[in-house]
Structure 1
Amino acid sequence: MKASLTDNGSQKAKFIKRNKIAIGLKNIKILENIFFNSTKKV
């Protein structure tokens, strides 16, 4: 049953990785929006 602890740890690591990717994609979208808005003004 000790294996479940390490499995839980890898699940948590996967979840954190997925979260970081999602946050990264959100940040890219925000940066793209800022970039498009700044180019429209010019």
Structure 2
Amino acid sequence: MIRPAPELYFHTMEQTAQRLTKEGLTDWKEVQPLLLNV
């Protein structure tokens, strides 16, 4: 099993968070701490 590079994983998380924020499903201020804790 190939593990993705941390940078790639973080970028994917960031894109997902931005998409959720754009759709109004969550607040970016709530998502940011989650990204920082990855």
Unaligned 5+ runs, structure 2: 26-38
More helix by share: 1
> How many residue pairs get matched?
23
Please report the TM-score for the alignment, with normalisation by the length of structure 2.
0.53
Q: Which has the higher contact order (CA 8 A, sep 6+)?
A: 2
When the two chains are superposed, the root-mean-square deviation of aligned CA atoms in Å is: 2.4
**Which runs of 4 or more aligned residues in structure 1 lie more than 6 Å from their structure 2 counterparts after TM superposition?**
none
Structure 1 unpaired stretches of 5+: 1-15
**Which structure has the larger Rg over C-alpha atoms?**
1
